[in-house]
Amino acid sequence: MTALLSSLRQICGAAQVLTHEDPATDLSPWELDWRKRIRGRALAVVRPGSTAEVAAVVKACAAAGTAIVPQGGNTGLVVGGVPDDTGTQIVLSLGRMQAVRAIDPANLTITVEAGCVLQNLQAAAEAAGFLFPLSLGAEGSCTIGGNLGTNAGGTQVLRYGNTRELCLGLEVVTAQGEVWHGLTGLRKDNTGYDLRNLMIGSEGTLGVITAATMKLYPQPAAQLTAWAAVPSMQAAVDLLGLAHQRLGPGLTGFEVMGQFALSLVDKHYPQLRVPLWQQTPWCVLLENSDSENEAHARAQFESLLEAAMEAGCVTDAVVAENLSQARGLWHIRESITLAQAEEGLNIKHDISIPVSRIPAFVAETDALLAQHIPGVRMVDFGHLGDGNLHYNVQAPAGADGPAFLRDFEDQVNTLVFDQVKRFDGSISAEHGVGELKVGKLPNYKDPTALAMMRAVKQALDPHNIMNPGRVLRP
């Protein structure tokens, strides 16, 4: 390994190859997963500054038979971007590759390097007069390479799609250290297999994404946010149908939040002043992006809410009067995860279900969990507009958190995933598979699909050096 480290230092510079040899160097930011549940140990953290350096690093590792773990902002939730505990893997951090390479206004595209932080990409698009719509809680630290690697979702999938739908081209270093130059901004290209979409969502198991050409959109003329109290999950689904009818493509956000989830925000962050939560089992956050003006957007919203109240699917509602109020409402939604962490350890699920079947899924699965674990508390929230729920299970009040995870996590996961399968859903909607779900995947993925995935992995990474043990096991 000494020879490999020497080669890596020659490629990237000694300062960009971090190891445990220096006791003053703390590799925790790269070795500890975001949820602080898994700590690996890397042979080295390598921080290349260019695509050429990435290619040279991969070639050197391939020659040495050393596994590579590509890493962006290390904000993943399924332990897909940290090394194992063997001390033999290289963490390939793309954090130095942050450049915005080009903006093409006529083609409505922006080309950025993989280490570009999502918030910086959004800012660059806004400075050029455009919108880059991908938005998620970790946008201040996650990178576009990681977003692409996991096919991240977020709050505007309803209108704009997952990261996959926002990408037109990729630059990728293969497992052999070759560079695929695919940064076209073409919206039509029928010249064979769709390699771009194959790489997106592969979690670094097929190659290293080093740059991407992403779609831009015109800035909306007005953007309004409303918060509605609804009497049931079915009422929330009915409201979604009305919103589609009344707002059309202007509906850019539709989030559902359960009463207990909001009670945690109220308990741990009382300064956020959560509206309406005490009088209703569910609240919905809606966003209307209008291409005309604010008056038109507000009239649409008021008409929608009036019709929803007449139909009985909304019992009360507030519409943000200004941008500050709108941000405050979104901040409440984004604080649910933090409030849940403050409350204690919990079992997280990132699932998708056909929207029409979500009310039945929640009612049945909540009841099953309550039977198995008396006093269990359900933190239900998520992107109802695209069928994605963060269906999280909190220990009973006063229970010991670590003991709850030890005694119930596998049982709860199996129960929830079996229900997801029964309702024709997916056990991973936007977070990926990583290491946490790789052992469960064969029970819930079509066996023919898994065989095809293994064939692709074998063809592109025959020596299994790219993020081994994630997504697929041999």
CB 186 within 8 A of CB 168: yes
Q: What is the mean pLDDT of residues 348-354?
A: 96
- Extract long-range pairs of 265-271: CB within 8 Å, 24+ residues apart: 265/332, 265/335, 265/336, 265/339, 267/339, 267/343, 268/338, 268/339, 268/342, 268/343, 269/335, 269/338, 269/339
3-state secondary structure of 430: coil
For the chain, the C-alpha Rg in angstroms (whole number) is: 23
| Domains of the chain as residue ranges with CATH | 2-93 (3.30.43.10), 100-218 (3.30.465.10), 222-337 (3.30.70.2190)
Closest CA to 470 of 91, 14, 83, 182: 83
Rounded distance between C-alpha atoms, residue 121 and residue 214, angstroms: 10
pLDDT of residue 270: 96
What is the per-residue pLDDT across 87-132, written as a single tens digit (0 to 9) for each?
999 999 999 999 999 999 999 999 999 999 999 999 999 999 999 9
Please say if the pLDDT value at position 345 is more than 90: no
Residues 6+ apart with CB under 8 A from 34: 74, 75, 76, 77, 138
Identify the CA nearest to 389 among candidates 362, 421, 351, 432: 351
Give me the mean pLDDT over the 320-332 stretch.
93
The whole-chain average pLDDT of the chain stands at 95
Residue 253 sits at the vertex; the CA angle it makes with 248 and 254, to the nearest 5 degrees, is 95
* Of 175, 237, 219, nearest in space to 361 by CA: 237
- AA letter at 308: A
Q: Taking 90 as the threshold, does the pLDDT of residue 1 lie above it?
A: no
Other Cβ atoms within 10 Å of 300 Cβ, number: 21
As given in the structure block, the two tokens for residue 457 are 């992995």
pLDDT of residue 22: 83
* 52-72 confidence digits (pLDDT tens): 999 999 999 999 999 999 999
Q: How do 222-230 and 167-174 pair as beta strands? A: unpaired
Q: Return the exposure string of 309-328: e unless at least 16 CB atoms fall within 10 Å of the residue's CB, then b.
A: eeeebbeebebbeeeeebeb
**What's the pTM?**
0.93
CB 182 within 8 A of CB 195: yes
- 277, 261 Cβ separation under 8 angstroms: no
How is residue 231 written in tokens? Answer: 């009497």
Output the pLDDT for position 237.
98
User: Burial, 302: exposed, middle or buried (Cβ in 10 Å; 0-12, 13-18, 19+)?
Assistant: middle
Dump strand ranges (E) for 59-198.
Answer: 68-71, 90-93, 100-104, 109-113, 130-131, 167-174, 179-182
